[in-house]
Structure 1
Amino acid sequence: MYHYIVKKLVKKSFKLVNERRFDELIKDMAPNVKHTFAGDHAMGGVRHDRIAVKAWLERLARLTPNLYITVKHINVIGWPHNTLAIVRWTATATLNNGDSYLNKGVHFITLKWGKVVELDVHEDTLVVFNGLEKQYQAGIKEAKAPQIIS
């Protein structure tokens, strides 16, 4: 039953990302949440608190305003004091130049007593880099901004 509840919470969190409801999303994170996104680009880096994670999410929304993440599979391991949710997903968008964006990835989400304490995101970083380059060429200068780190 516990794993079923966690799966529902994880699905809800991706729905909140898709709906750009970031204030609501970060409420379920520990104040010192760790968020890691691989890559040497504007979306890469490591954040260590909710404020930086929210700033990162807001940048994601500005850089890919119609990004939509579809959850494909969720696996939950552990119990309330130490839970790992492994989420496979597909992200799609239309870039400003009209090109389609498609990336597949995995989130490793660690929860302790109902709070997200770590988000480790793995996806094709070359796809992210190329998408950011296209957005930059289309006039979104933030696509080459320094990483949001904390």
Structure 2
Amino acid sequence: MIDGLAPEFVYDFHGEHALGGRRTTRDGMERWWQRMLRLLPGIRFDVRDIVVDGGPWRTRVAVRSNVAGSLPDGTPYQNTVMQFLTLRWGRVTSVETLENTQVLQRTLSSLASAGQPEAAAAPITD
């Protein structure tokens, strides 16, 4: 994902939680992915639908995915993610991510209560 980003991009993940926020640098995205994989290790994305429109100078992509995995205590995690991406000449210039925030927030609260303070951390932004 990181290597597909354009030199200038915006990545917005909606919600005021540890995985939310806006990132515009490679460093911010690397820190975000590291956090996401610490909080949700073994997470899998099952792409259900993709809609593509536009030419290579401005390609718009809508993606609906199911997200699943096991939390550190073995509890299953399942959610739905919608993303809207814009690409320019094959490089991602913007991503907007919407995940069922109620499910995600409950999961992050549970992780924080179980001793993972990063689950309650402020969003990574830059």
Query: How does the TM-score come out when normalised to structure 1?
Result: 0.80
CA deviation profile, 1:51-108 (whole Å, cap 9, x unmatched):
2112111110011112111111111000001001111100012122332211112111
Q: Which amino acid in the other structure matches residue 81 of structure 2?
A: G
Identity %: 35
Equivalent positions of 1:1-150 (< 5 A) are 25-150=1-126
Kindly state the Cα deviation for residue 49 of structure 1 after the two structures are TM-superposed: 1.7
CA contact (8 A) 1:34 1:117 kept: yes
Question: Matches of 2:7 and 2:115 in 1, distance apart?
Answer: 34
Structure 2 unaligned regions, length at least 5: none
CA contact (8 A) 2:70 2:77 kept: yes
Q: CA RMSD in A?
A: 1.1
Question: Matches of 2:113 and 2:42 in 1, distance apart?
Answer: 18
Query: How does the TM-score come out when normalised to structure 2?
Result: 0.94
Greater strand percent: which structure?
A: 2
CA contact (8 A) 1:33 1:50 kept: no
Question: Matches of 1:91 and 1:145 in 2, distance apart?
Answer: 22
DSSP-derived class of the 1:31 partner:
strand
Q: Which amino acid in the other structure matches residue 100 of structure 1?
A: P
CA contact (8 A) 2:37 2:43 kept: yes
Structure 1 unaligned regions, length at least 5: 1-24
Question: Matches of 1:145 and 1:123 in 2, distance apart?
Answer: 18
